[in-house]
Structure 1
Amino acid sequence: MSHSISHLIDGRLHDLGDGFFVRRMLPHLAARHIGPFVFFDHMGPVTMAPGTGMDVRPHPHIGLATVTYLFDGAIRHRDSLGNVQDIRPGDVNWMTAGRGIVHSERTPDAERASGQKLHGIQIWVALPKTAEEVAPEFHHHPVASLPLIERDGARLRLVVGDALGLHAPVRIFAPMFYLAAEFERGGKFVLPAEYAERAVYAVDADLLVDGEPLATQRMAALAAGAEVEIVSPNGGHAVFFGGAPLDGERHLYWNFVASSRERIEQAKQDWVAQRLGHVPGETEFIPLPT
């Protein structure tokens, strides 16, 4: 293994129903989190036939922020604050759960009628202890509002945080970065050493990490303190992310993230009693797993 890679991460496939699979990369035994990123799901790519779609019924979150980023397709977000927002490739939907929010994720009507290919990444960021109980928020940032760098056969969009001297408009609570990259054949990018914890994920094509092969749909947690050259021999998508280390371990249960087990137990009771909110216009919900 390259001196630039501290460990390699292979994901696990999860069936969310109706043949819709995600590849879960974090949390992992080798890396419970990278910076504040505690959860990483690669959705699809999946082709949905006309008349079918994704239907993730209303469910709750606490103690985290979710960020959804698509390469293909569209998802409609609805939440207990009353927000209704479609997200399309390159846009960012950032939801700060804080002390509690409920949302659903479904295929929009037009895409459900026509059928669509859906492909994207969903990440959870643990909020720092000082912000775990903030008021919930939702913000949508269209693709045109996100910083873009094009060089050496790579297009790099800053989805969240600060990197390469750029600043994304998403409101965050701790130092972090998240770059979505699209490479031409032979494209390259040097990832600076500005954060203590960093990782790279090969979305749909193999990469070279300081000359070391990183296969498609594998993640490499990078060693701290040195810049790393990424080369895409055949072109494709990749994701780079990381940040300052978390301010302590986190407990994860279902859709809840918290710095104490007691807070998780409270959230479980609140959901069973339906005290965390309701998505306007929707009556169904996902029960607490037993």
Structure 2
Amino acid sequence: MNIILISNNLAKARTLTLTTKHLVLLAGAFLSSSVLLAMGLNYLSLRYADKLDSPTLRSLVLSVHQEEHQKAQSYLRDSLNAMAIRMGQMQAQLLRLDSVGARLAELSGMKPQEFLFNQSPGQGGALPTLPTQDLSFVEMGNKIQELSAILDDRSDKLGALDSLLMQDRLKKKMLPSVMPIEAKWYSSGFGVRIDPFTGRSAFHEGVDFTATTGTPIKAAASGVVVYSDYHPEYGNMIDVDHGNEFVSRYAHASKRLVKVGQVVVRGQKIAEVGSTGRSTGPHLHFEVRHKGLPQNPSRFLKMPG
């Protein structure tokens, strides 16, 4: 590198030639001076730190510490609030699980004292032999998340089981299983018998209960009235549809108390015993039909002991 020097004191211009070696030496000198200057400043700051300590500098340092502390406290508060909210949700889930558990116990026929859902289960054991340690804030949060996931899973499964048991119970309630009249025996059973009018063998599609005129006739199960009229052979007759193609029939009544389309519940009075239609005396003719075919009512009815 050539450097040309021009001055009024010089008769002619001079030229300086800088080689690579010169440039390296200059760079090294510059770096060395920079390092020495930094070391000197650092020494002075340490040597005279007490003299440099001023209220302004001290307040600046305290301000930085306070800002970091406030950030940490804010993060801690937010985390605790989130954990508190989640704990509240978990408590609500536990209350729901308690109610579902109590209902499941009832549906399954368990005794209430076998599962005390309103009390915490007993726990205990010997003192731990291995060293113990406190849970950290992060570990506590992880445990809560894990427990929350387990609660969600158990809640879904118990809810599904509750629905299935409830559906099964409703189906049983919809079956014609309640005695339609207060009686302990049939005057005429289901199946082949001697017809009281012709004296010939005939198939009896239901069962007969002898009773005095006016005796209440009750619905054997909940359902919808699909027929309520006078029939040439059955006399005053009522058909109740219970769903799943099950229909119960009540015949020879003296009085009908329900209309077509009316919803009736199990055990509700729907008619009174009589001797209308093809009948030899006051009684209730009761049938159970599935898909239009007669079924033996004794398979469904719960006879009183």
| TM-score bracket for the superposition, by shorter chain length | under 0.3
- TM-score, normalised relative to structure 2: 0.21
**Greater helix fraction, Structure 1 or Structure 2:** 2
Q: Hey, which of these two has a bigger chunk of strand by percent?
A: 1
TM-score (norm 1): 0.21
